[in-house]
A = this chain, B = another copy of it.
Amino acid sequence: MKYCSQCGKSVSKKIPEGDNRPRHVCDDCGTIHYLNPKIIAGCLPVHGDRVLLCRRAIEPRRGYWTLPAGFMENGESTEQAAARETLEEARAQVRIGDLYTVTSIIHLGQVQMLYLAELPQPEFGPGDESLEVALFREDEIPWDELAFQTIRNALRFYFEDRRRQHFPLRHIDLETRPGQYIDN
């Protein structure tokens, strides 16, 4: 941020009175501009014993497989955002179920929230941001071609949990245990 979105003048980084960390403050009108994390909402769509994955057509990680997910917008709930992203990226209609993973990706300023979802009909196809979309059984998951650690974790949890038919909410702490996945 270089300019004030309220008055168009320049901003400087300073600690406002009564605050304890630097903010972008307008040099002219004094407006304080806070930067807050964004929510990535998505889901893990299940059809029978298979999971729906999308191969990314965009960077980062173009060509790698992921679960449908994207930035939550104003004017929708987290569940609606997850369903919308699935429709956009995989052209698939899902029934959003329980919240399944919550991951704070601190260095990116993102909080990823993935829901379990049911894909009632095996109808799907690549949206603008996907190269292809496909259903995978556990032994077919392209583990070495997954786009993100958070997606790998969510899928590992899912197949573990499916064996015991118990799907607790999973907090994934990427920062303190990078590469690991921990139970909540």
Contact = CB atoms under 8 A, between A and B. Distances in A.
Interface string A42-78: 0000000000000000000000000000011111111
Number of copies: 2
A109 interface: yes
A128 B18 contact: yes
A78 to B, nearest CB: 5
Q: How large is the interface on A (under 10, 10 to 19, 20 to 34, 35 or more residues)?
A: 35 or more
Interface string A1-32: 11111111111000000100100000000000
A128 B19 CA distance: 11
A35 B72 CA distance: 9
A169 interface: yes
A106 interface: yes
A36 B34 contact: no
Which 6 pairs of residues, A with B, have the shortest CB-CB distance? Answer: A77-B104, A3-B8, A74-B109, A1-B5, A8-B8, A36-B38
